[in-house]
Chain A
Amino acid sequence: GAVVSQHPSWVICKSGTSVKIECRSLDFQATTMFWYRQFPKQSLMLMATSNEGSKATYEQGVEKDKFLINHASLTLSTLTVTSAHPEDSSFYICSARTQGGSDDSNQPQHFGDGTRLSIL
């Protein structure tokens, strides 16, 4: 159980292109999903917390107009990197938190397989 699917797994595109990444919880409903970025040999860096039906909460230093997040249903969140540039090249990973009774705040996050984004 607790399977998270992320698509696409690899994207190579030209500078200035917008790229959309999808994150789906396949066998559970996720009120909250998270978007991370990870540079080589570095730790996960939380970009934003996505809540179903409301605006995402962005971490300090993350441009919300550049990284558009939509969480329109309990099983799908999308991250769109707008006008991508080479410095946006990274490994983007989503995660979804399983629900645990009345309070799912301390439930583990389950990760998608990640999207490797390369901007030329």
Chain B
Amino acid sequence: GQNIDQPTEMTATEGAIVQINCTYQTSGFNGLFWYQQHAGEAPTFLSYNVLDGLEEKGRFSSFLSRSKGYSYLLLKELQMKDSASYLCAVMDSNYQLIWGAGTKLIIKP
């Protein structure tokens, strides 16, 4: 079966750095997406990785290792507004998105 695993919840302090991990087992791979979803709102696209390595975009970076079936989202200089759920999604061989359950990130002052 297809499976995306990410922690249910994480807590971090304002100004700090946090890494949210995602491991996956899917039938084929055509890229991995990270989305941010604030409570009661729709997801917002953050990043896309299809090749191994680190993609940096401002305070957010995303890393992919296809051989390990692993990705992480790194958030630096955390702000209170970063409190949200972060969804990992993998596109399989049929170009279908397989969604993780999301990681709820709580930022404390």
Q: Hey, which bits of chain A sit against chain B, CB under 8 A? A: 2, 6, 42-44, 46, 91, 93, 105-106, 108-114, 116
Contact = CB atoms under 8 A, between A and B. Distances in A.
Contacts, number: 44
A42 to B, nearest CB: 7
User: Interface residue tally of chain B, by bracket?
Assistant: 20 to 34
Interface stretch (B17-25, B54-62, B71-79, B98-106): B98-106
Contacts of A109: 33, 45, 97
A14 to B, nearest CB: 24
A111 B30 contact: no
B27 interface: no
Interface of B: 30-31, 33, 35, 40-45, 48, 50, 87, 91, 95-97, 99-102
A113 B42 contact: yes
A111 to B, nearest CB: 4
Contacts of A111: 35, 42-45
B31 A43 contact: no
Contact of A106 (B31, B35, B101): B31
Contacts of B30: 105-106
A24 B100 CA distance: 26
A43 B33 contact: no
B48 A108 contact: yes
List of 4 A-B pairs having minimum Cβ-Cβ separation, nearest first = A111-B42, A105-B95, A114-B42, A43-B101
A108 B33 contact: yes
B48 A43 contact: no
B100 to A, nearest CB: 7
A93 B42 contact: yes
